[in-house]
Amino acid sequence: MKILNSKKCFGGWLFLIVFFSMVVFLSSCGTKNPALTSAKIYLKLTPPDYEKAMQQLQIALQQEPENAEAHFLLGKLYAEKKMYKEMLEEFQKAETGKLKPEQLEEIQQIKKRKWTEVLNSGIRLGKRRKQVDQYKLELLTDFSNYAGYKDSLKAISADLEDGGRFTWDSYQKFSEAKPVLEELEAMLEREAVQRYQLAIQMDSTRYEPFVNLAAEYVRKDELEMALGYYQKAYQIKPDDSNVMNDYATTLLGVKKFEKALSLYERILEKDPTNVNALVNVAMIYARKGETEKALSTYSVIISIDPEYRDAYFNRGLLSLAKAQDKISVLKSYKDSLEKNSKDKKLLSRYQSVQEDYNRIFAKVEGDFKKTKEIDPGDKDAFFHLGLLYLSRAQILEPGQEQNNDFSQAESFFKKSLELDPQDTESIKYLGFSLLSQKKWEEASLNLERLVESDPTDREAWGYLAIAYARLGKRDKAEEAFKKSGR
């Protein structure tokens, strides 16, 4: 026992001797602040005693608030403890004071290491938020499997400050868990945003945190906020295709077409076969009313990817609009020719427009047929084919050709309704196609379905009035006519 006590005593004396020696050494190096001296000693221990060092540094700063070295050491300590905000605050204060060049260099090296750490932690938090959102959707569908999610939710919330207050074992139904899941999502989002902002404070010359912040605001549909961050990322990394694409897409979302177009053009300079950029360029041209440029761009897309369904469909839509314009011109010329049948110039113009219309018709038909060939379930392709034939039938003379077009329109509208029985537009135009073929009974049945689902559709009531009148249902025809507002 005496031997053990003497060892303990000797060990205690040895620590005091070492401690005293370090105090003497540090004092001889010119340190005038005793608390700062003590902090350095605690930091040199193996392992370092960070808690006591922190206490001494805080005391040192109470005595000398401007002591740059104390701020420097406290910043390093916060870095070790992953207290990033506090670390930055201390380093900023240290940098305004008198530090040795090697200390200033060390601050930069620490910030560089911690920047990566902070950015990655923000990305992890963002991924966990997505994970919780997915859990929420799955549990909404089937809450009986909740037990299989609890451990994961506990682990996710455990890393958050105040995350321990969630009682994941207590929820018995989705309505109880839903608000807590949403709160956890919000907390993860806030933490992720804070990490990205801290990364920017550490190094504002790196583009990655700006991109991640922008993505967070895009997800929340706060596009103006997102634009500011994408703009900064683009200024830092102007040749990065992903930055340009995300920035351009957001500009497109807020209808800043010219700026978006200039970015997509830059992307296409680097990568002329970038289909995503080409699709958006075509969309911008279409919205600006530059139809020919849009059509040309969709043709480029198709040359790159011959199975790109939407390119065919959108090109078909633009061409269909051109066809409708030609129909208006043809009707006008036709009316004029009825009054001036011997006017050769007028006849020549009519024939020229008729030829243009026929070419456009063939293009529209080809694009929509290709669309349904690629995707037989594309209801819109069938619907617009129906519109194409229905429109042409109205400029044809009564006879077999016109009847064929009405019949074609009928079949396409019926196919559209097979794919979507509730599509009111298909029901309406099917009713009109049937009326045009004098299929009064079938037309009335379809139009009755339409006015049942939408009693305010005056056009449908007007068609129904015609069908009832042709069927000899006078009272119903009068009632329908009144509801048509005519």
Label each residue of 207-257 as H, E or C: CHHHHHHHHHHHHCCCHHHHHHHHHHHHHHCCCCHHHHHHHHHHHHHCCCH
What is the per-residue pLDDT across 318-345, written as a single tens digit (0 to 9) for each?
999 999 999 999 999 888 988 888 888 9
Cβ pair 211, 230 in contact under 8 A: yes
Residue 6 has what pLDDT?
A: 43
430 neighbors 414 (Cβ within 8 angstroms): yes
Answer whether 98's CB lies under 8 Å from 66's CB. Answer: no
* Residue 193 pLDDT: 96
**Under 8 Å between Cβ of 151 and 197:** no
| Cα–Cα nearest to 52, from 32, 73, 31 | 73
Question: How many Cβ atoms are within 10 Å of 436's Cβ, its own excluded?
Answer: 19
Note the pLDDT of residue 33: 85
pLDDT tens digit sequence for 243-266: 999 999 999 999 999 999 999 999
- In this prediction, residues 370-394 reach a mean pLDDT of 96
- Judged by average pLDDT, the poorest of 5-14, 25-34, 267-276, 371-380 is 5-14
Report the Cα 270 to chain-centroid distance in Å: 24
Q: Is 185 left (phi over 0), alpha (psi -120 to 50) or beta?
A: alpha
pLDDT value at residue 343: 86
Task: Determine the pLDDT at residue 472.
Answer: 94
Indicate if the pLDDT at residue 288 is higher than 50.
Answer: yes
pLDDT of 159: 84
Under 8 Å between Cβ of 203 and 115: yes
pLDDT of 26 higher than 80: no
pLDDT tens, residue by residue, 45-91: 999 999 999 999 999 999 999 999 999 999 999 999 999 999 999 99
Q: Taking the CB of residue 240, how many other CB atoms lie within 10 A of it?
A: 15
The CB-side HSE value for 469 (13 A sphere, CA atoms) comes to 12
pLDDT of residue 90: 94
Q: Which of 261, 215, 1, 6 is nearest to 122 (CA)?
A: 215
pLDDT in tens, 404-453: 999 999 999 999 999 999 999 999 999 999 999 999 999 999 999 999 99
Q: What is d(CA 379, CA 388) in angstroms, rounded to the nearest whole number? A: 14
372: confidence class by pLDDT, cuts 50, 70, 90 = very high
Longest dimension (CA), the chain: 135
